């Protein structure tokens, strides 16, 4: 723990934690995101305006000056054998306390002009031992620039890293097998750690990054292989019979109001093959929004029932649980299957007699009294943490696990993260679905857009979602208030002749249910909602989706929201309103107009916003990479290959194992 180490870190502990620094060694893995190139050393006599240079010299004068409004200016003069140069800083009155007349200093920055004389304005600086001193860290070299946070500057971090590096260098050790280092031409570990922070030159920085990126993904790959082995050794169960119930399954499929798509058919076969094996299923079903995952899971639950087992279907929101409850009841209820709903606000009567339990997290906290749990389905699994996913399985002994998501992760990434999972893809949409036409609407067209929506509603009975932005991470009162205000505005000023209603996460379960029922029945024209409808809601007659402050959402998330419409055979539309003029943001949103594949959008977001953004908020349980990137598919591939090669003899490399254990311990 960092707060145990020294007083100063104790004071900084909270702030450092924001940067992911909890232990002393974490400083060494706080990786600079770029370097300032201050390696050109010059003499005062040669300094030219516009150049970025470093000058070493003796301080011949330094003092504070005072400007208006309590602002201060610091002025200094530095001398070397070729002349004198002026320096000014603003509002840093402590500088004359740390630099004294007579000190030797190293100054880096861009040379400016002041009345035709060269001058440094707010340069980097540090006191040095002598003019020959080359041990500088803030000047005179490639200087690392770190992600900083309030009260923890890049410069302060640089000082800590330098200190910790020199004090703890002896504790760093090489742990990769020599063969890998040799074959792939990697830098040594110790060298890489040093050079990533204080590189000799650009090439060293690059090599260091290459080595550490390799390590990061390679260790993840190994840990995923270990998890796979663990799953395989632990998870045995009684196989389900499929053959025996062929007739029943066929009859069930005929009872559906539609034919399964080719992809659904294939995935059902994959699932059945898992269920009929001796090893518990652990399958991730990734499917485009609206591709029909629910019915696939229902078929699996039916097979579970036929084999005399119970099933659980867990969802991240109460609204979704209610919807699934109804869907499953409709699909399975007529087959004498008892379905029960378990949510935080609804007290179920008799759980023990149910064959299928549908519910939210509330399932985790209840004593379900299930003896023969055969199958656990987790819908929108990205919304659950690793722990919760493991927890729900403990309601039975090694039940089969089917997790489902509409935010597909590229296959290579999925393998890296979940080595113990089998993957299924629903890559085909039901027949007759039309593309949801998508527009990024410029602010000047807002009123036209409203008019157009009004017309669509009165002429075609189109139903509309209007999504208000989330203001805070989870659905807070602030978000609810903003949505309520927007709802009032739309109801009173814009669509006063239409039927509007409001849906947000802080409503009582019953209220939410009633509103969605009314919307489903068509007695609401426009449903103003917070992003609670983001996942899973299925209302086939809704055809228009309007999203406010669209730039606050990830592309995959927008795709999810867009997936709430276009579920029937009517033409559907998605209108994006952006609360920004930033061209990069707008370009990102614009891609929604042309890209209709969730996987492609997720990948694009990965590149544009980085994994922290997309996975951090959307995909629980995904480790944040410090240096490598989940969009570096080549490196993911390469580390996978190397990991698989070394894995059978991993026991021969105790130092490597130790590193993996550290990673695995972090995860829970």
Query: Which chain residues interact with Mg ion by CB under 5 A?
Result: 536
Looking at the Cβ atoms of 106 and 560, the one nearer to Mg ion is: 560
- Partner from ligand ADP, Mg ion, none contacting 165, C-beta within 5 to 8 A by type: none
Q: How far is the CB of 569 from ligand ADP (least distance, A)?
A: 10
| One of 44, 224, 291, 424 touching ligand ADP (CB under 6 A) | 291
| One of 106, 235, 280, 294 touching ligand ADP (CB under 6 A) | 294
| One of 74, 106, 207, 264 touching ligand ADP (CB under 6 A) | 264
Q: How many CA atoms lie within 13 A of 544 on its CB side?
A: 20
DSSP state letters, 189-218: HHHHHHHHHS-SSHHHHHHHHHHHHHHHHH
| One of 30, 210, 211, 293 touching ligand ADP (CB under 6 A) | 293
Q: What is the DSSP letter of 60?
A: E
Q: How far is the CB of 403 from ligand ADP (least distance, A)?
A: 13
Looking at the Cβ atoms of 289 and 370, the one nearer to ligand ADP is: 289
- Partner from ligand ADP, Mg ion, none contacting 83, C-beta within 5 to 8 A by type: none
Q: Restricting to residues 561-620, name those near ligand ADP by CB under 6 A.
A: 567
Q: What is the DSSP letter of 239?
A: P
253 binds ligand ADP (CB under 6 A): no
The tokens describing 369, both together, are 């009294």
Nearest CA-CA partner of 461 in 547, 503, 521: 521
Q: How far is the CB of 563 from ligand ADP (least distance, A)?
A: 6
DSSP state letters, 359-413: ESTHHHHS----S-EEEEEETTGGGS-HHHHHHHHTTSSS-EEEEEESSPPPHHH
Looking at the Cβ atoms of 50 and 257, the one nearer to ligand ADP is: 257
Q: How many residues bind ligand ADP (CB under 6 A)?
A: 18
How far apart, in whole angstroms, are the C-alpha atoms of residue 533 and residue 501?
14
- Partner from Mg ion, ligand ADP, none contacting 374, C-beta within 5 to 8 A by type: none
The tokens describing 405, both together, are 């998501």
Q: What is the DSSP letter of 448?
A: H
Q: How far is the CB of 433 from ligand ADP (least distance, A)?
A: 8
- Helix 583-594 / helix 555-562 crossing angle, nearest 10 deg: 40
Name residue 544's beta-bridge partners: 464, 573
Q: How far is the CB of 383 from Mg ion (least distance, A)?
A: 12
Looking at the Cβ atoms of 290 and 419, the one nearer to ligand ADP is: 290
Q: How far is the CB of 298 from Mg ion (least distance, A)?
A: 11
Looking at the Cβ atoms of 410 and 536, the one nearer to Mg ion is: 536
| 8 A C-beta contact, residue 106 and residue 56 | yes
Q: How many CB atoms lie within 10 A of CB 335?
A: 14
Looking at the Cβ atoms of 306 and 537, the one nearer to Mg ion is: 537
Angle at the Cα of 647 from the Cα atoms of 641 and 652, rounded to 5 degrees: 135
- Partner from ligand ADP, Mg ion, none contacting 321, C-beta within 5 to 8 A by type: none
| 8 A C-beta contact, residue 14 and residue 2 | no
Point out which residues bind ligand ADP (CB under 6 A). Answer: 258, 260-261, 264, 287, 289-295, 406, 430, 536, 538, 540, 567
């Amino acid at each position: 723990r960092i707060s145990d180490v020294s007083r100063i870190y104790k004071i900084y502990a909270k702030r450092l934690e924001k940067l992911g620094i909890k232990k002393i060694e974490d400083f060494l893995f706080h990786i600079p995101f770029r370097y300032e190139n201050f390696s050109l050393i010059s003499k005062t006599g040669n300094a030219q305006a516009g150049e970025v240079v470093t000058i070493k010299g003796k301080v011949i004068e330094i003092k504070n000056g005072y400007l208006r409004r309590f602002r201060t200016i610091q002025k200094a003069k530095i001398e070397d054998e070729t002349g004198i140069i002026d320096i000014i800083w603003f509002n840093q009155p402590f500088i004359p306390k740390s630099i004294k007349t007579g000190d030797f200093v190293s100054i880096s920055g861009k040379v400016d002009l002041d009345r035709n004389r060269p001058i440094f304005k707010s340069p980097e600086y540090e006191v040095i031992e002598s003019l020959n001193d080359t041990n500088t860290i803030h000047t005179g070299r490639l200087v690392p620039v770190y992600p900083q946070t309030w009260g923890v500057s890049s410069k302060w971090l640089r000082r800590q890293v330098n200190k910790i590096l020199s004090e703890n260098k002896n504790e760093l050790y090489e742990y990769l097998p020599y063969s890998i280092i040799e074959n792939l031409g990697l830098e040594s570990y110790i060298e890489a750690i040093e050079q990533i922070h204080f590189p000799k030159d650009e090439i060293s920085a690059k090599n260091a990054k290459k080595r550490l990126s390799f390590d990061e993904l390679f260790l993840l790959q190994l840990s995923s292989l270990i998890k796979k082995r663990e799953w395989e050794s632990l998870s045995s169960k009684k196989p389900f019979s499929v053959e025996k119930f062929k007739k029943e399954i066929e009859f069930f499929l005929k009872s559906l109001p539609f034919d399964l798509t080719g992809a659904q058919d294939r995935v059902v076969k994959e699932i059945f093959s898992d269920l009929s094996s001796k090893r518990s299923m652990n399958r991730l079903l990734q499917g485009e929004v609206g591709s029909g995952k629910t019915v696939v899971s229902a078929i699996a639950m039916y097979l579970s029932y036929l084999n005399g087992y119970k099933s659980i279907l867990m969802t991240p929101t109460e609204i979704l649980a209610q919807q699934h409850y109804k869907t499953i009841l409709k699909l399975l209820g007529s087959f004498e299957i008892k379905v029960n709903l378990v949510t935080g606000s609804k007290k179920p009567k008799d759980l023990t007699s149910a064959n299928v339990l549908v519910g939210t997290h509330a399932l985790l906290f209840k004593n379900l009294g299930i003896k023969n749990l055969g199958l656990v389905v987790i819908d929108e699994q990205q919304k659950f943490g690793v722990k919760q996913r493991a927890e729900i399985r403990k309601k039975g002994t090694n039940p089969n696990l089917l997790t489902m998501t509409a935010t597909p992760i590229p296959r290579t990434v999925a393998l890296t993260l979940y080595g113990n999972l089998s993957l299924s893809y629903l890559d085909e949409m039901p027949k007759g679905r039309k593309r949801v036409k998508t527009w990024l609407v410029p602010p000047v067209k807002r009123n036209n857009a409203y008019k157009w929506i009004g017309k669509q509603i009165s002429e075609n009975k189109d139903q509309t979602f209007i999504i208000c932005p989330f203001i805070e991470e989870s659905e807070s009162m602030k978000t609810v208030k903003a949505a309520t205000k927007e709802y009032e505005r739309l109801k009173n000023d814009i669509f006063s002749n239409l039927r509007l209603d409001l849906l947000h996460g802080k409503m009582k379960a019953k209220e939410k249910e009633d509103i969605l029922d009314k919307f489903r029945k068509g007695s609401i024209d426009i449903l103003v909602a917070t992003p609670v409808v983001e996942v899973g809601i299925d209302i086939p007659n809704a055809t228009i989706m309007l999203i406010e402050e669209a730039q606050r959402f990830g592309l995959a998330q927008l795709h999810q929201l867009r997936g709430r419409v276009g579920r029937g055979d009517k033409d559907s539309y998605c209108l994006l309103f952006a609360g920004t003029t930033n061209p990069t943001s707008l370009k990102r949103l614009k891609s929604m107009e042309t890209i209709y594949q969730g996987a492609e959008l997720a990948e694009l977001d990965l590149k544009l916003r980085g994994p922290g953004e997309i996975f951090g908020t959307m995909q629980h349980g995904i480790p944040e990479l410090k240096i490598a990137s989940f969009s570096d598919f080549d490196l993911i591939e390469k580390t996978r290959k190397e990991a698989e090669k070394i894995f059978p003899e991993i026991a021969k490399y105790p130092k490597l194992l130790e590193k993996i254990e550290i990673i695995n311990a972090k995860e829970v």
